[in-house]
Amino acid sequence: MDSPGLDRVLTRLAEAVPFGHVRRTSSLTATLDLADNLFLGIEPRRRVWGLPGIVDRRALRAEATTLLRRVDVDAPVPTLAADLDPASRLLVEVARALAHGATVLAVHEPAAGLTDAAADRVARVLRGLADDGLVVVVASQRPTFAFEFGDAVSALVGDSIVPCTRPGETTPDARELLLRTMAGAGSVSGAAGPGAPAAHRPDATAANPSPAVSDAAASGPAFEVVNWSTNDEFERARPTVVNASLTVAAGEVVGLAGLDGSGRNELLLSVFGRTAGTEPGGAVLLDGLPVDTSTPQAAIGNGIFMITTVQPKYRVKIVGGISAPASNTMLPALIRAGVVSRDDEGGVATPAGRALDAARLRGRDDEWTRIRSLLELFPESAHRVLLLVEPTRELTQERREEVWRLVAGIRQVGKSVVVSSASIDELLAIGDRIVAMADGRVVAELPATAATPLEVLRRVAIH
């Protein structure tokens, strides 16, 4: 489902060849113009008395204009990055990689969040660069896009790249082959992979609920989300969740499955105190009655609790590259003022970013302690519904299985749990039902005991 080994594979590639990586999160500096963004740190300079002198602005603009034309960006060079449309922003990132001498270019989900016309424009530019001799690697979770765009298609399984089709090769069942490889079922033998349903369960109690729990589940939904919709905080016209509904009985664990951009995490984050997305539409019900979840305090007061490792972090940019956290209540006004970045400081290769990475590594054990403590306390708490967003992200297998055991214990005392995870295996390990999401919508429901990773992938990989 996700690509945990992608960064490690690309890091190895970057050590071997001149390499550019265009990520989904823009790294352009919004307050700089296009020329300064393209050549930041490598500005052409005029020599004075044989020594490097001031920046040669004329050469800078001329070279920037040439690069922008090459990637089909017709915005004037003085345009600020903040004023670009999403497709042009991505293409300027491509141009910057070219300015830095990249001969291999990796682009992560180039069509994500774009209109069909904008996605076609990006694909056309990338195809032109490939025809010019640049090696273009596109990382995508959308099989249809991969086959339409790529000369060859491979699957990333852990840290390994498994070829599915090669240049010039036609395979009638290539899509199925790719999905089977992604699901871990094996690209040649077709042997059963990690999807064998019985093997997923962390213990016998999860697979065989007590009669009391079964009776509770049969009595009807305890927790419901009805026709929930919300839009992206920054691109406020772009839906991230569209009329999504789900029900959870007392003593039931429901897993939310979906690829990147499916809306599975955004749904739970929005439901719990509007911690993601714009002001939503829809309703949250407990025992059939509407409850207020408009703030985290209101949700908790009504018996709904959330544990997440991926809550979005927004930063208010100050001077000198320093930034401070922005709260969700402040976000709309700060976005309009142009002083908020979607990017987390951890993704920036600066001394401050590296220091934050080191602090996060030191704090990972603390985060595990916090998650485990909350899960251990939940069965005896007054809360009735637990929302889990990527609860085992970056945990060891031993700790993942401990989380699964604790969730099974919460289930056994008759409480409702919703888990959103990038790992299909995890959802099949702890869930009773799987709710599949794609493009912000609920597209299918499957009983976890009868489902396999391949079957779930077929439902969520609709593009």
Q: DSSP characters for 171-188?
A: -TTHHHHHHHHHTTS-SS
> What are 330's two structure tokens?
């402040």
- Work out the pLDDT band at 346, boundaries 50, 70, 90: very low
> What are 325's two structure tokens?
């956290």
Per-residue pLDDT at 204: 39
CATH number for 6-150: choose from 3.40.630.30, 3.40.50.300, 3.40.640.10, 3.30.1340.30.
Answer: 3.40.50.300
Residue 295 has pLDDT above 60, yes or no: yes
pLDDT, one tens digit per residue, over 96-107 is 999 999 988 988
The mean-pLDDT minimum among 115-119, 201-205, 426-430 falls in 201-205
CATH topology of domain 198-460: Rossmann fold (3.40.50)
Q: Say yes or no: do domains 6-150 and 198-460 share a fold.
A: yes
Q: DSSP characters for 346-382?
A: GGS-SHHHHHHHHHHHHHHHHHHHHHHHHHHHGGGSS
Q: Percentage of residues in the chain with pLDDT exceeding 90?
A: 41
Per-residue pLDDT at 260: 82
Q: What angle do CA 310, 281, 284 make, to 5 degrees?
A: 75
Per-residue pLDDT at 47: 72
Helix (H) or strand (E) holding 199: helix 197-200
Residue 226 has pLDDT above 90, yes or no: yes
**Average pLDDT over every residue of 309-335:** 58
Is the Cβ–Cβ distance between 242 and 203 less than 8 Å?
Answer: no
- Where do the structural domains in the chain lie, given as residue ranges? 6-150, 198-460
pLDDT, one tens digit per residue, over 186-199 is 333 333 333 334 44
Report the distance separating Cα 112 and Cα 260, nearest Å: 9
Per-residue pLDDT at 347: 43
Q: Which of residues 416 and 44 earns the better pLDDT score?
A: 416
**Average pLDDT over every residue of 109-121:** 85
Residue 160 has pLDDT above 90, yes or no: no
User: Mean pLDDT for the chain?
Assistant: 80
The mean-pLDDT minimum among 140-149, 167-176, 209-218, 423-432 falls in 209-218
**Average pLDDT over every residue of 312-322:** 54
Per-residue pLDDT at 77: 93
> What are 58's two structure tokens?
């004329």
Beta-carbon-side half-sphere exposure of residue 329 (alpha carbons within 13 Å): 4
Supply the pTM of this predicted model. Answer: 0.74
Report the distance separating Cα 251 and Cα 255, nearest Å: 13
Residue 390 has pLDDT above 50, yes or no: yes
The mean-pLDDT minimum among 171-180, 192-201, 289-298, 454-463 falls in 192-201
The mean-pLDDT minimum among 154-158, 178-182, 305-309, 408-412 falls in 154-158
Is the Cβ–Cβ distance between 286 and 316 less than 8 Å?
Answer: no
Per-residue pLDDT at 10: 67
**Average pLDDT over every residue of 290-300:** 93
**Average pLDDT over every residue of 412-440:** 94
Report the distance separating Cα 23 and Cα 102, nearest Å: 15
Q: Which of residues 270 and 191 earns the better pLDDT score?
A: 270
**Average pLDDT over every residue of 244-261:** 94
